Amino acid sequence: MPFHKLAAVPVLVWLGVALATRLPRAGATPTPHSSQCKTKCGRVDIPYPFGIVDSPDDGHCAMHDGFALTCNKTGINGRRRRPFAGDVEVVHISLQRGKARMKATISSYCYNLTSRVMDTDPWSVDLKGTPYKFAGTNKFTVIGCQSLVYIVGEHGDDAQDQYMSGCVAMCWRGGNGDVRSALRNGSCSGIGCCQTAIPKGLQYYQVLFEPGVNTTEIHNVSRCSYAVLMDSSDFTFSTTYVTSRAFINNYGGQAPFVVDWSIGNETCDAARKKHVSYACVSDNSECFNSQNGPGYICNCSKGFHGNPYLQHLERGCKDIDECKHPQRYRCSNGGVCRNRLGGYDCPCKSRWKGVAKAGTCIDHFPLAAKLAVGAIGGILLMSIISFLIILHKEKKKMKEFYKNNGGPLLEEATGIKIFKKGELKPFLKNSNIIGKGGFGKVYKGLLDNKEVAIKKPINGSVRENKQFANEVIIQSQVIHKNIVRLIGCCLEVEAPLLVYEFISQGSLHDILHNHNNKVALNLEARLNIAAQSADGLAYMHSKANIRILHGDVKPANILLDDNFVPKISDFGISRLLARDKEHTGSVIGDMNYMDPVYQREGLLTEKSDVYSFGVVILELISSRRAIHSENNSLLKSFLEYDKKKEKMTELFDKEIAITKDLELLDSLACMALKCLSLDVEQRPTMMEIAEQLLILSRSRKV
């Protein structure tokens, strides 16, 4: 199931082009399943009829070649494993629904600033000869300001059964003459974003950009157009997708799409007659015709669960013991649950009558018993009333906190999830603490099956009402791959809790300076961390609607994910911290990285972040701590060598200070010293730093 990178060709010419590589056709007869087969690759479950086939010995793991997957090493140093069908990554498989979730490369059509022409990078996905067909939840999605893009595809193996459609995404200038003012978040109706549905049974598609429509005239606003067939339920349009690379960055260059998979190309009635190839082999299983072209899928009968494609007693369809799951299968108010094959019974107790499954069993018992129950009930009632009074007071206090923390304003905002106190409280334990600081504590939690970081500020350290709410809204709109994403907040406490995405590898500070840490960063990794961190800061400094500063740039606030991609955290924390009531304009931040001008005048600017980033570069190339001291300063050491016009080789980390890289390290040191100039006007902008680091990073890879 290969991706094809395509050259730019006229749309009509394509109709005569033959297809390239395809996967082997799916066999007709199921392969017996081996109990030794792997059932998981990374975090993805691999249920039969799918199977991991990494070697000839794994031949019995998949029903046939069409369901064969490989478990490949990915990421830096091959630290993670992911399943692939051909060269297409599989991220989820649904056995019951007959669906799978995969990733497709996003096609692009961009204006080249150097050649001043459009560069096209189209792709195709070929599912022909496999059990997969593109699901109806996918939509052909086009992003851009002047974009006409075609989707050309085929149904099944008949090359004559072709499909062609297109989508137009245009922009017009608003009342102020700016194209961006006409764009609207969430709206994909042709203005900056277009989506169109696909027919059933589609197994191949490719993307073709119309060369007569391009962005050469508005490249300063919208340089690129993008197109991909993707799962529409996973897509929300953002105006930044048109004006920046946010669309590509958010999805890592590959968007998710959904396929329907099925067994063979016959109906259930025809398949049952062929006992050798019939796939629904488990007892208590049923066959269902595919809703997307020929073929069928199997499911366990009602009252059973398991894998309908396996005969094995423990892995096939087993009876559900409903009595072990009273929340899901009701049997209450005097009912006695009794499990049976394929269901359960729930008769009322002896001398009781009614319908126990509906919770209506009732009993008539003697007056004395009723009086005793009444007395007990009275005591319970008093207890309940007392509890309700306490609960009412607690709820009243929570409502006051909610209002004081800007809850009414945040309710009107989109993209911000407001959590209840009860949702986060189970995670606020000492055993879950993953970080502490002047701002408060950070806890690790699990929400919606995703790991998150929950920041609990020190009481009184967060500003109230609209100011806090507005700053949360601003942080939620920050969409960049190198900035930790704010998921939501909890306002029912005195100091609001902030919920962020969890970053697995910890901080750059720990990796550079923790002697127990076995992770070694080579020069290329450090250069990438510097370049991408600078790109994230430059993005914040250059946002169109509002300028956002960091105020506390340091390695401890640069987190690294599994692939050592940096993500800047605590963005805007300085804006969220309450100002000292007695000393307005008080300086907040780490003295080891603080701009002396900001420290002296109390005015935070973009150049304050530039100064702090200069210290970060020095730490990256030296692996030495930045300590604010007259006698022991990392900056002082570099300045002394620079003043004497001596080479700084002795200051570089010996792990990376090899002869061929000394010139590059000198360039990084000089860049850092420019950032650390006491003359604010002489410091470069964050955008200039990001561009220079990108050039150095690319020269390193050449």
**Integer Cα distance of 372 and 98 in angstroms:** 57
**Integer Cα distance of 187 and 195 in angstroms:** 11
Structure tokens at 649: 């080789």
Name the amino acid, one letter, at 128.
K
Those residues whose C-beta lies under 8 Å from the C-beta of residue 476, and which sit 6 or more positions away, are 413, 415, 416, 486, 488
**Integer Cα distance of 132 and 295 in angstroms:** 10
Pairs from 691-699 (Cβ < 8 Å, separation ≥ 24): 693/527, 693/530, 693/531, 693/534, 694/531, 694/535, 696/527, 696/531, 696/664, 696/667, 696/668, 697/524, 697/527, 697/528, 697/531, 699/664
Those residues whose C-beta lies under 8 Å from the C-beta of residue 466, and which sit 6 or more positions away, are 406, 409
3-state secondary structure of 383: helix
Which of 552, 570, 595, 609 does the annotation list as catalytic? 552
Question: Is 87 an annotated catalytic residue?
Answer: no
Q: Give the strand pairing for 51-52 and 68-74.
A: parallel
Structure tokens at 3: 């991706």
Confirm whether residue 456 is marked as ligand binding: yes
- Cα–Cα–Cα angle for 647, 652, 654, nearest 5°? 120
3-state secondary structure of 649: helix
Q: CB 72: neighbour CB atoms within 10 A?
A: 16
Structure tokens at 294: 């020929």
Residue linked to tokens 């300086």 = 587
**Integer Cα distance of 576 and 203 in angstroms:** 51
What is the DSSP code string of 81-108? EEEEETTEEEEEEETTTTEEEEEEEPEE
292 burial via Cβ count (<10 Å: 0-12, 13-18, 19+): buried
Q: Point out the annotated binding site.
A: 456
Catalytic residue numbers? 552
**Residues in binding site for ATP:** 456
